[in-house]
Each structure stands twice: as C-alpha cells, then as structure tokens.
Amino acid sequence: MNYIEVCIETSGLPEILPEILLANLSELGFDSFVEESAQLKAYIPVASFNKAETDNLLQPYFIEYTVREIADKNWNAEWEENFKPVLIADKLFIRAAFHSPHEKAAIDVIIEPKMSFGTGHHETTSQMCELIMKYPHQGKKVLDMGSGTGILAIVAAKLGAASVCAVDTDEWAFNNIRENIQLNHVEGITPLMGDVSVVPVAKYDIIYANINLNVLKNDIPKYTGMLKKNGLLFLSGFYESDMEQILNVCKTTGLNVKEQISARQWVACVFA
C-alpha cells in the first residue's frame, strides 16, 4: 500500500500550531506523523487522500505544503532515517533494533514503527507510558485501544500484565504490532483489528485509550462498562482545553479523575 506524504514547513509558526495541525489532520485520516525541527510530515493512504479537504484545512493558516507519494518498499528506510531512541521517566527506553540498549533503563522496548503511530516521541504516547509505569500491572487484564505500534501493550506485558488485548482500526498497525511483539519476546498480547466493537466481552482491570477527542467522547461509556470494579482508565489524545469535555463524559459514567499530567498542551490522565 502506497502512502501520500504531506510536508508542512513549520519554521516561524507559533509553537503550538504544529500540534493543532497534527490533531486536525488526524481527523482527515492522516494516521502517521514525523515532527522535525522545521517540518511536520503527515502520512495517509493514497486512496484516502483528499487534496481539497487538505487545502481547506490548511488555507486559514496560510501554510504552504508539498505532496509526494511514498511506495511501501521505501517506508522502512524513511523511518530509520528519522526514528531516534527516547528515554521516558528515566525508566523506559524505546528504540529501534539498530539502536543499542540504554545502560540504566529498567524497561527496554524495541519498536519497528513503519507507518503506525506510537514511537514514544509524541507527548500523548510518552505521557501515557509515564503514567502506566506508576501503577501495578502484575497479573492484570489490560485492554489497549488505538494500540498503534503496540508500545503501551508491550510495556504492560513487561510490567507483568497477565494478558493484553491490543486493538487498532488500521491494518498496518495490526500487522506492525505482531512484529513488535516478536521483537520484544513478550507473551500474552492479542492483537485485534477494528474498533471497540471487536473487543471480546470481558472485564478488564486496566484500559488504555490514546486516540482522539471525538472517539473518546463516544467510547468512554463503553470502556467504563468493560472495567472491573476499582479498575483504571488511562486516556490521552486531546488538549488541556478539551479536558472539561472528557471530565463531563467520565462523570456521567461514574468515573473521577485520579491523576493527570500535561506537556505542550497535550493531556494524559487516569480515571477510576
């Protein structure tokens, strides 16, 4: 499957604007992003790209962008050129197989990211990892919605989770997480392709959902129904300005915020 790369020059833009563009582009179907010092690169399957919609989104910001088609066979080289290892909370080291392990990190995760979201560099992923490592996972039953590369599912497994169900709507992510499970030699992770409707009927101790505001608002009641008593719901993928909407939805399901952190206006939080 070939992808379209939209490259946006970000030099001179307000610091928060690339993050806003990233969120808005994701609503158009762009599912992978690379942020560089002066560029934001967004990727979407060729069949899903609508130039008119992209123009309408970017024109109000007077932003120029370039478009090119990337063949499937070139994608690994693209990621290897851009993907750098990341250390989170001095405990978790996320790297590609061609990087050396971190000598002090307690948890080592190897990711072959390809087209899937979730390398640990974006604030939503890194903050979710930071929160997840604070809570006991030994023997827990975990559900990871919007699993992307599978980073969160793999971290859960390495923290001792008894089982992890990792769900993503994207076929590329579904195939990618299976590769990353093998790279990390972890057991107990079951990848599924689809939305919340494909999740096996069960009760979970812990649920992760790092997706976007609209999906979260729609699906939080469903997540709550799948939580065990005293279970934990980890959420991210939205801005500080959206937190009130998340709080209101969670309140209707009987959940209260237990902890929240933020970086560059992105939020990650735990509800119980």
The single-letter code of the amino acid at 183 is L
* 69 and 138 together in one domain: no
* 75 and 142 together in one domain: no
Domain-embedded: residue 109: no
How many distinct structural domains can be found in the chain? 2
Task: Out of 62, 79, 96, pick the residue that ends a domain.
Answer: 79
* 53 and 133 together in one domain: no
> What does the pLDDT look like over 201-228, one tens digit per residue?
899 999 999 988 889 999 999 999 999 9
Question: Which structural domain, as residue segments, surrounds residue 200?
Answer: 121-271
* 210 and 141 together in one domain: yes
CA–CA separation, 186 and 184 (whole Å): 6
- CATH number of residue 151's parent domain: 3.40.50.150
Which pLDDT score, from 0 to 100, does residue 12 have? 77
What's the mean per-residue pLDDT of the chain? Answer: 88
Which pLDDT score, from 0 to 100, does residue 94 have? 92
**Rounded mean pLDDT of 35-59?**
87
For residue 6, pLDDT over 80 is answered with yes
Instruction: Tell me the sheet residues that pair with 236.
Output: 210, 268
- For tokens 């923290």, what's the residue? 159
CA–CA separation, 105 and 249 (whole Å): 37
Query: How many of the other CB atoms lie within 10 Å of CB of 169?
Result: 18
Model's pTM, two decimal places? 0.76
